Amino acid sequence: MQFPSRALRVVGGILVAYALLVATHLGEFWPFSIYPMFSQAGNPWTRAVVRKLPSQADPDTLSWDAVSLQDLPGTSYPVAPKGINQNDVANYVSKTDRWTDERVQGLRSLFTKGRTLSSPLFVFRVRGTLETDSVAVTATPVLLFAPDTTRLHPSSTARTVASAPPS
């Protein structure tokens, strides 16, 4: 009779400790909190998309309006084959609160380090939000890197607040 009561006390103690740990961390417990799919599910997310425009594209006629993923101009620019880390681009775009000259040049250097631009690159901030039973995704242009110039989004709101939803 000694073994079952001791086993019940051990199991009960483990369950109490687990309940206290989970209760004090708002339902987050270590093995799950390090994975964003568990700890950030349902939160809005921001990533970056880079599009290659035709070399004859006129930068003055480009639209700086937010669009859906299906309406993005140009073709996909493959960052990994060019030796560019997608997370570096996404961090620049999503975590920059204010685009200073240093930040713009830092992002541009990711694309021009060891290579020249043959055609313009359009960098978009892509934001996804959960709406009822689907995800709404919008892409807002942030920067245009032409071979010889760099243009920032003309709207100061789109340039300065990375976490705000597109207007």
pLDDT tens sequence across 51-90: 999 887 787 788 899 999 999 999 999 998 888 999 899 9
- In this predicted structure, the answer to whether residue 165 has a pLDDT above a threshold of 50 is no
φ, ψ of residue 136 to 5 degrees: the values are -95, 125
| pLDDT at residue 12 is higher than 70 | yes
pLDDT of residue 18: 81
89 touches 95 (CB < 8 A): no
The average pLDDT across 154-160 equals 63
CA distances from 119 to 4, 34, 53, 112, 159 (A): 74, 40, 6, 12, 23
Q: Which of 9-18, 99-108, 111-120, 156-165 has the lowest mean pLDDT?
A: 156-165
- The CA angle 50-54-60, to the nearest 5 degrees, is 85
Q: Judge whether 122 and 50 are in contact, CB under 8 Å.
A: yes
Grouping H, G, I as helix, E, B as strand and the rest as coil, residue 20 is: helix
Full-model pTM: 0.71
Instruction: Confirm if 110 and 83 have CB atoms less than 8 A apart.
Output: no
